[in-house]
Structure 1
Amino acid sequence: MGQSLQDIHYKETSMKKTALVLGLLATFSSAGWAQSSVSLYGILDVGVRYTTNSGTTAARKGDSLSQVIPGGMSNSRLGVNVSEDMGGGLKAIANLEHRLNSDTGTQTAAEFWRQSWVGLESKEYGRLTLGRQYNVLFDVYTSTFSSYKYSPYIEIFRPETAMAMAGRQSNMVKYLAESGPFRGELQVGAGEGASPDKTVGAMLRYSKDELAFGAGVMDVEDTAGRKVRGLTVGGAYTAGPLYVNLSWGQNKFDLGTDVLQAAYTNNYTISPASRLNAAGLDVKKRDMLAVGFTYQFSKELNLGLQGWYAKQTHHRLTGSSKAGFLAAVADYAFSKRTDVYAEADYSKLGGAVSFDNTAKSRVGLSTGIRHRF
């Protein structure tokens, strides 16, 4: 026998109710997922580089060096950003970022995660983050008066970043607040475990229309109570395709401190300003002036020129040491994600400092391709 009209009506009503429940569940589920997000990001940059006066010994200091480099414009990285909207203008945020040598697949430092922090962000009260993260000197530099408009610095040739006192610190608590064109940050770092250096610092920046300027201060203290004191101040001006920057930084070292020595004794080819500390623990004060510009000739093509002049005094050595750096770069974007670049740089050292092989000058040429995702 066929179904009665009552049975058919009952089944249709049940199906409509089921569909309504499933629809509501899907809506609530989508809304719940929309409140949280996890995003993967990264940069892959590989280039080739040629440098003069790069022999491994003083006897062969005039030898040149050709190599594949793990990033000419940017350090290759892979990161995860996490954000959860908890309502009322409050978010939970977190970040994990790994840096890698793209030419060999190895990690760039002893720590696997170069950044690893978690925090809370409020529209009304600002942002509080805890963990390993960028310090206030690096933040004010990159956000306010970076060397190049389209890329904060050249990874393979970046004397300015050494003045930011390693750029990142572990065991840090950092607070950020914004009001109109002003942004301020405070940081405190606990000295513990494998990173025994205590840190405290602050920065303030102003950015509106074409102008941006700011300043930052930071102290780093070792277990013996000896300190390195850092200061940076500068500004930038943007007028259409033209971007101009000017900044000055200073580091003062207590006698015998070993704070941040690793940041200043890396291979000079990677961090040019590092060899300004070639006199060991004898550095007393280091100053660096930076000036340069970027000009966007077209939607795809950017050209930049940047110069740095550094001078340092010593606790024991007489006289002063000097260094001058100059870099020119051209960047061509095939798309929003992929670009190619060519870069030329020159270094000249004087006084007590030199390259590891005793050379006093060096020319570098780099070119490569970078993809961001």
Structure 2
Amino acid sequence: MKKKLAIAAAVAATFASASYAQSSVTLYGIVDAGITYTTNVNGDRNFALTSGNVSASRWGLRGVEDLGGGLKTIFTLESGFNVANGQQNGGLFNRQAFVGLTQDQYGTVTFGRQFDSMIDYVGPLTAVGTWGGNYTAHLMDNDDLNGTFSLNNTIKYASPNFSGFQFGGLYAFSNQAGGFAVNRAYSAGMSYAYQGLRLGAAYTQINGVNANGGGAVQGSPMANTLGALSDLSGNARQRNWGAGASYTYGPMVGGVVFTQSRVNDTLGNSLRLNNIEANARYNLTPALGIGAMYTYTNANGSVLDANGSSSAHWHQFALQADYSLSKRTDVYLEGVGMWGAGQNAVGITQVGFQGNDNFSSSKNQGIITTGIRHRF
């Protein structure tokens, strides 16, 4: 009898150990900081120690549990922070916070605070979504490809990979009784990859972004990120869409992307921005890479007519050299310049990284940044 009990206990311990081994939680993150010189910040030159120059500094927890039959539970909790002062960028898990199920044959469903399809499917074709970093975002990140905002209250689906083709979408609830459509959002996108070619397209719409503080988005993302360029009020609606392609050939990858961002409100205010980007990166050695980007942005809308013009445009250039000291640590040197037309001030830095106080007092602004980035 004692022998049978001992065998049973050993078998139970074995299964318990195996079950434990099928679950894991991973701590991960990026720490990025350096020195940034800005040519014109409200009329003055500025030298500053800055955080998140190429990659937004962040830490997170990622977990997975194998439920059997190919089904797994997953979760991610991710927070952005400022290395220069140690402060969080908003709430505790301000970037992402979601939990869900994934299955190889059927895809992944997740619930919580998440990024939209523009970031998932168009972002990887841009400089800001790959090597370029935060300062290469399109004018004030108007299309959110740099993740200036995340969507709350979302349910999100991502398909499996069907011979290179993938698709997905999300819906963000308003969470308001009697106001189902007040501050809600929806997004969808798709991508295709074959050998070195990659294609992507996506669309996001946010309704009533200023009408419900507990809804999908807090404030109008485009109005907030454009700061001095817009004067929107009322229940604004924002629509972003984009498409692009990239091609990898040996040590070189190049891409082209078009995006459009529109916002309008119930008072008749409107603003539309078109962004056209070309980017390329070449690895001179396994450790040293160089990249270049050019973006043309055109703006039209009623909010730009204060100086007698309803349109404006900008040219943005970026050059970067990046050297890997190890698999996890690299150093970089990057320069970004922007030249605008019309009477509108120009600002390169985005809300959430440098703030709206870094607008230029003229039509031009340039940034040179160098620093170190470590991944863990």
Structure 1 length-normalised TM: 0.81
Residue 247 of structure 1: which of 254, 257, 264 is its match? 257
Matched, 1:30 2:30: no
Residue 312 of structure 1: which of 299, 321, 334 is its match? 299
5 Å-filtered alignment, 1:163-182, equals 163-164=143-144, 166-178=148-160, 179-182=162-165
Residue 196 of structure 2: which of 204, 210, 217 is its match? 210
5 Å-filtered alignment, 1:90-239, equals 90-110=71-91, 112-143=93-124, 145-147=125-127, 151-159=130-138, 161-164=141-144, 166-178=148-160, 179-192=162-175, 197-222=183-208, 223=211, 226-239=236-249
5 Å-filtered alignment, 1:258-277, equals none
1:372 maps to 375
Are the equivalent residues in 2 in contact too, given 1:142–1:152 (CA < 8 A)? no
Structure 1 residues 215 and 106: alpha-carbon distance in aligned structure 2, compared to 1, 3 A threshold: same
Matched, 1:284 2:271: yes
Matched, 1:71 2:52: yes
Distance 1:371 1:306 in 2: 24
- Counterpart residue identity of residue 177, structure 1: S
- Counterpart residue identity of residue 205, structure 1: S
1:44 maps to 31
**Matched residue SS, 1:109:** coil
Matched, 1:339 2:321: no
C-alpha displacement of 1:350: 1.5
**Matched residue SS, 1:336:** coil
Distance 2:277 2:266 in 1: 28
**Matched residue SS, 2:312:** strand
- Counterpart residue identity of residue 218, structure 1: T
Structure 1 residues 84 and 53: alpha-carbon distance in aligned structure 2, compared to 1, 3 A threshold: same
Q: Deviations over 1:175-214 (max 9, x none)?
A: 1113221110111111237x96211121011012100001
Matched, 1:349 2:340: yes
More off after superposition, 165-174 vs 129-138 = 165-174
Structure 2 length-normalised TM: 0.81
Distance 2:4 2:333 in 1: 65
Q: Deviations over 1:275-308 (max 9, x none)?
A: xxxxxx9442110001010001111011000111
Q: Deviations over 1:322-356 (max 9, x none)?
A: 11111111110111101111101101122242144
CA RMSD of aligned residues (A): 2.4
1:260 maps to none
Distance 1:34 1:164 in 2: 38
Are the equivalent residues in 2 in contact too, given 1:319–1:351 (CA < 8 A)? no
**Matched residue SS, 1:28:** helix
Distance 2:312 2:270 in 1: 10
Structure 1 residues 196 and 44: alpha-carbon distance in aligned structure 2, compared to 1, 3 A threshold: farther
**Matched residue SS, 1:104:** coil
Distance 2:284 2:266 in 1: 49
C-alpha displacement of 1:22: 6.2
- Counterpart residue identity of residue 167, structure 2: G
Q: Percent identity?
A: 30
C-alpha displacement of 1:218: 1.4
Q: Deviations over 1:70-92 (max 9, x none)?
A: 12111111100111110111111
Distance 1:319 1:156 in 2: 26
Are the equivalent residues in 2 in contact too, given 1:46–1:71 (CA < 8 A)? yes
Are the equivalent residues in 1 in contact too, given 2:201–2:243 (CA < 8 A)? yes
2:313 maps to 322
**Number of paired residues?**
328
C-alpha displacement of 1:112: 4.1
Distance 1:299 1:148 in 2: 21
C-alpha displacement of 1:114: 1.7
Gaps of 5+ in 1: 1-12, 258-280
Are the equivalent residues in 2 in contact too, given 1:174–1:185 (CA < 8 A)? yes
